[in-house]
Amino acid sequence: MNRFFVNDIGPDWAVIEGEDLKHLVSVLRLRKGDHVMLSDGRGSECEGEIEHLEPGKARVKTGPWRPCLSEPHHKLTLFQCLPKAGKMETIIQKGTELGMNALVPTLSARCVVQPGRDFDKKLQRYRKVAQEAAMQSHRGLVPEVLPLVELKKADLSIFDTVYVAYEGEKEQSLKRVMADRPGRRIALFVGPEGGFEADEVAALTEKGAKAVSLGPRILRTETAGMAMCAEILFELGE
């Protein structure tokens, strides 16, 4: 069943509008009486029936709202250092499919790409990618794509557990450190194409982060975060 995120919600109705309405009418060719799945973007969902289609909006009669079963209990936030052009959208898309809760674009020493004046426009595009991926993968919420942060200014205090993917770590695998079960709020740090500098990893571990190995092979930056998300949620049964 096709899924839409809605903000305009009443006691027994909701409104689909904007780009979603265009998709509903022009691509899916849904009509009055067709059924859709709705999400409030905060982890709840319900089934609804299209009651009215009019210029600018579709009114849907809603059933009872319930928690979305596709949402992980654990909340993963990926601090992704800026990759080369085109990769961030893939990271956001696949991270959303896997269950990521938020992504923070991060600037570190070895980032080849530097944020320009148009970065706010890129953020808008990234957020649209997250929403489209959330609809496709039947998520109950759209992962947040937060503003850019410098690595040294990243606030780790709001997380229960922080993992840093680091090719220089030879002993502690992600699987091994997860034997000490993480809390509900988990942060993941992935470096750019050139990886993290040793002093950057040291600064993060001084704040309480755990440097981890992702195995004997070196993963690309667009692969590492996805591998971490998948392994963590698998180990946690989600």
Tell the residue number behind the tokens 């893939």, with chain if given.
Answer: 90
Residue among 32, 29, 59, 65 nearest 47 (CA): 65
Q: Tell me the pLDDT band of 143, cut-offs 50, 70 and 90.
A: very high
- The encoded tokens of residue 17 equal 């509008």
Tell the residue number behind the tokens 């020493």, with chain if given.
Answer: 109
Q: What pLDDT does 9 receive?
A: 94
**pTM of the entire structure?**
0.89
Phi, psi of 94, deg, nearest 5: -70, -35
* Cβ(212)–Cβ(188) below 8 Å: no
Look up the CATH number of domain 3-67.
Answer: 2.40.240.20
Tell the residue number behind the tokens 């040793």, with chain if given.
Answer: 198
- Exposed, middle or buried: residue 199 (CB in 10 Å: 0-12, 13-18, 19+)? exposed
Domain ranges, ordered by start, for the chain: 3-67, 75-235
% of residues, the chain, pLDDT over 70: 100
3-state SS assignment for residue 227: helix
Look up the CATH superfamily of 75-235: SPOUT methyltransferase, trefoil knot domain (3.40.1280.10)
Average pLDDT, the chain: 94
Q: pLDDT tens digits for 64-117?
A: 999 998 899 999 999 999 999 889 999 999 999 999 999 999 999 999 988 888
What does the alpha-carbon distance between residue 147 and residue 116 come to, in Å, rounded to a whole number? 13
- The encoded tokens of residue 233 equal 């949620």
Q: What pLDDT does 34 receive?
A: 95
**Averaged pLDDT, 11-38:** 93
